[in-house]
Structure 1
Amino acid sequence: MRILVTGSTDGIGLKTAQELQQLGHDVVFHARSEERGQQIQGRPEVLVADFGDLEQVRAMGRSAGAFDVVVHNAGIGGQAERAETKDGIERTFQVNVLAPYILTALMPRPQRLIYLTSGLESVGVANLADLQYKTRVWNGMQCYSDSKLHDVALAFAVARRWPEVYSNAVDPGWIRTKLGGPNATDDLPEGAETQVWLATADGDALVTGKYFKRKTELTPNPAAHDVEFQDGLLRACAELTGVTL
Structure 2
Amino acid sequence: MALILVTGASSGLGYNTAKALADDGHDVVTHVRDRARLTGAEDTARWKGVLTGDLADLEQVREIARQAGEFGHFDAAIHNAGTMRAPEAGTVNAVTPYLLTALLDKPARLIYLSSSMHRTGSTDLRRLAAGTATYDDSKLWVTTLALAFTSRWEGTSSHAVDPGWVPTRMGGPGAPDDLTAGHETQVWLATHHEATPSTGGYWYHRQMQPPHPACRDEEFQARLIRTLETHTGVPLA
Common fold, TM-score beyond 0.5? yes
1:63-87 CA distances to partner (integer Å, 9 max, x unpaired)?
312210000000101x3xx5xxxxx
Aligned to 1:29: 30
Contact 1:92 1:147 (C-alpha < 8 Å) held by counterparts:
yes
Distance in 1, matches of 2:212 and 2:197, equals 22
Q: CA deviation at 1:42?
A: 3.7
* AA aligned opposite 1:127: D
Corresponding residue of 2:184: 193
Closer, same or farther: CA 106–8 of 1 in aligned 2, 3 Å: same
SS of alignment partner, residue 204 of structure 1:
coil
Counterpart residue type for residue 222 of structure 1: P
Name the stretch that deviates more: 36-45 or 110-119.
Answer: 36-45
Amino acid in the other structure paired with 1:35: A
How far the C-alpha of 1:129 sits from its partner, in A, is 3.1
The answer to whether the aligner puts 1:73 opposite 2:77 as a matched pair is no
TM superposition shift of 1:34: 2.5
Q: 2:125 pairs with 125, 128, 131, which one?
A: 128
- Could you tell me the TM-score, scaled by structure 2's length? 0.91
Q: Distance in 1 between matches of 2:201 and 2:235?
A: 23
Indicate whether 1:118 and 2:115 are aligned: yes
Q: Does 1:244 align with 2:232?
A: no
| Equivalent AA in structure 2 for residue 173 of structure 1 | G
Post-superposition offset of 1:123:
1.2
* CA 41–109 in structure 1, closer or farther in 2 if over 3 Å, else same: same
Following superposition, the deviation at residue 59 of structure 1 comes to 1.7
State the alpha-carbon separation in 2 of the partners of residues 48 and 28 from structure 1. Answer: 11
Pick which of 142-151 and 47-56 moved more. Answer: 142-151
Q: Any stretches of 5+ residues in structure 2 without a counterpart? A: none
Provide, for residues 109-132 of structure 1, a one-character-per-residue CA deviation record: whole Å limited to 9, x for no partner.
111000000011111111123335
What TM-score do you get using the length of structure 1 for normalisation? 0.88
Q: Which structure 1 segments of 5+ residues have no match? A: 83-89
* Aligned position for 1:163: 154
List aligned pairs for 1:80-99, cutoff 5 A: 82=86, 90-99=87-96
Task: Report which stretch shifted further, 90-99 or 216-225.
Answer: 90-99
Measured after TM superposition, the shift of residue 48 of structure 1 is: 0.6
Q: What CA deviation, in whole Å up to 9, does each residue of 1:113-161 have, x standing for no partner?
A: 0000001111111112333556xxx6xxx81011001111110111111
